[in-house]
Structure 1
Amino acid sequence: MKQLQHFFKDKTVQQVLDVGCGSGDFIKVLNDTFNGQVSITGVDPGEQWLKEARARFAQEHICFSCMSGETLAFEDASFDVVSLSNALHHLADLEQALNEMKRVVKPGGWIIINEVSDGDLTEAQENQKMLHHFKSFVDRLHGIPHRSTWTVDEILDIVRQNKLEIVDSFRHLKTKQVNFESYFLDEKSRQMESLLEELQGRPEYDQTKDQLPLFKERLEQHGFQSAPQLLVIARPKAR
């Protein structure tokens, strides 16, 4: 990500923490940004995701631990950079997690928030949003924290409301091409179908079952593309 590399090109960074790392997509971005020259720690509460991440990143300077963002088992002021990528909407206690991130970042360090955003979407990106919102709806029925997508202004407001000073922000695309590959679109349809099957026997099934044929029709017409993400670089405000 060129914008991120440009921002940190003259900054001294040695220790980086990625909160809610999942299988490691943003770990790759961070490793590329710092040219493999910094120590990176990824944490996530899901051991199944960490198993995949460990298989992807066997480098000695990258390690992983199982823990939640709301309770980071690190000393105060341990990291030069603390990031949270596409996990803001998964947090059970958003304020507590951001407080923990502020606690473990060093004075003068940076906090990166990277989050999928809503607003000004193409039809292909609306398809990604439709699948994501259905997934979040089903998760919430199961008691799993999973919010719908925020707009750019809403994300920026969340950052400011949690006493973070925005240094830079930009919108970017994870995938720049619209995908019309039949195998890929079939997989997205199966994901929606699987989510719908989870609702069998519940009143929500009849309320939402029409989304599947609509989703399939939209995929055929418009394809699929990940919605834009907003990356925010911020610093904790002085107490």
Structure 2
Amino acid sequence: MEVIWNAIKNRTKDIKTVLDVATGEGYFVNLICKNISDYTSIIGIDPNENAIAKASKLYTNSRIKFHKSKAENIPYGNDMFDMVSISRALHHLGDRKASMSEMYRVLRPGGVLIINEMIRDEQNEAQITRYMYHHLRAEIDRLAGMSHNETLTRYEIKQLVGNFRFNKISFLEYNQPDIDVFNRSEIERIEEGCDKISERFEDECIKEKSLEIKGRLWRYGIQNPTQYIVIAEK
């Protein structure tokens, strides 16, 4: 993910306060720490109490804090953060427009918004296998009452960001380099996941989707989707 940090390398010295939205267990916070050394405060928010508890145990630095909060109602004042980020979680949000409005509100003028999101359009066959499996897991999460939607397209992300008055917006893309799409351990892991889903659910549609994914694994392989990156200056 060097593409993100190379794009903002001339600005990192000015980034002191950071908000990471839908932080989960703090994966992206780790990357922020490695690439923005002069930060004074990083706050990660997520509605999942278990994820916040795990993140709080992982990060013992007093400058890093985690709080339970939904992106649609961020509990901080206007213009508070030099950088706001959301990584691989835009498709998890219940109300994307309201969440974007909140992220825009708490970002200071001159601050930078970073969105790193999986997309589903214009993917190769191995990537299609991955997002089919991801979408199946998302469908199962929704049945359990969780907010987990299908991944977005480039156009949908551009349209969402375009609703707000950013001074400058850059769009970048990232794909895994030199990936073995037929990695045996990864294929076997996904096969096992499909088998567990088929055993757990009686719904024929879900079973058919599981079988279709298994059928694609050794035919096309599996690869992470393209990451679509937005860097927007307020």
TM-score range, shorter chain: 0.7 to 0.9
Pair 1:109 & 2:111 matched? yes
Q: Secondary structure at the match of 2:182?
A: coil
Please give the alpha-carbon distance, in whole angstroms, between the structure 2 residues aligned to 1:116 and 1:110: 20
1:212 pairs, out of 210, 213, 222, with 210
Please give the alpha-carbon distance, in whole angstroms, between the structure 2 residues aligned to 1:164 and 1:190: 45
Does structure 1 retain, via aligned residues, the 8 Å contact 2:141–2:148? Answer: yes
Shift of 1:233: 0.9
| Letter of the structure 1 residue corresponding to residue 2 of structure 2 | K
Once the two structures are overlaid, the 10-residue window that deviates more, 126-135 or 208-217, is 208-217
The match for 2:93 is 91
Please give the alpha-carbon distance, in whole angstroms, between the structure 1 residues aligned to 2:163 and 2:175: 26
| Structure 2 residues not aligned, in runs of 5+ | none
Shift of 1:26: 1.4
The match for 2:8 is 8
After superposition, give the CA deviation of every residue in 1:174-218 in whole Å (9 maximum; x if it has no partner).
575135343332222233334445533xxxx11231222222221
Q: Secondary structure at the match of 1:188?
A: helix
Once the two structures are overlaid, the 10-residue window that deviates more, 156-165 or 120-129, is 156-165
User: What aligned pairs does 1:1-239 form with structure 2 within 5 A after superposition?
Assistant: 1-11=1-11, 12-35=14-37, 37-173=39-175, 177-200=179-202, 205-236=203-234
Query: Closer, same or farther in 2 for the Cα pair 1:190/1:166, shift >3 Å?
Result: farther
| Letter of the structure 2 residue corresponding to residue 121 of structure 1 | Q
The TM-score normalised by the length of structure 2 is: 0.88
Shift of 1:140: 2.8
Q: Secondary structure at the match of 2:55?
A: helix
Shift of 1:82: 0.5
Please give the alpha-carbon distance, in whole angstroms, between the structure 1 residues aligned to 2:183 and 2:9: 37
> How many residues align structurally?
232
CA RMSD of aligned residues (A): 2.2
Does structure 2 retain, via aligned residues, the 8 Å contact 1:160–1:166? Answer: no
Q: Secondary structure at the match of 2:122?
A: coil
Please give the alpha-carbon distance, in whole angstroms, between the structure 1 residues aligned to 2:31 and 2:168: 20
Once the two structures are overlaid, the 10-residue window that deviates more, 152-161 or 175-184, is 175-184
| Structure 1 residues not aligned, in runs of 5+ | none
Shift of 1:105: 1.0
Q: Which runs of 4+ in 1 moved over 6 A?
A: none
The TM-score normalised by the length of structure 1 is: 0.86
| Letter of the structure 2 residue corresponding to residue 147 of structure 1 | N
After superposition, give the CA deviation of every residue in 1:98-130 in whole Å (9 maximum; x if it has no partner).
111111111211111111012221222111111
Q: Secondary structure at the match of 1:76?
A: coil
Query: Closer, same or farther in 2 for the Cα pair 1:107/1:134, shift >3 Å?
Result: same
Query: Closer, same or farther in 2 for the Cα pair 1:146/1:165, shift >3 Å?
Result: farther
Please give the alpha-carbon distance, in whole angstroms, between the structure 2 residues aligned to 1:113 and 1:45: 18
Does structure 1 retain, via aligned residues, the 8 Å contact 2:97–2:160? Answer: no
Please give the alpha-carbon distance, in whole angstroms, between the structure 2 residues aligned to 1:175 and 1:48: 33
Fraction of identical pairs, as percent: 30
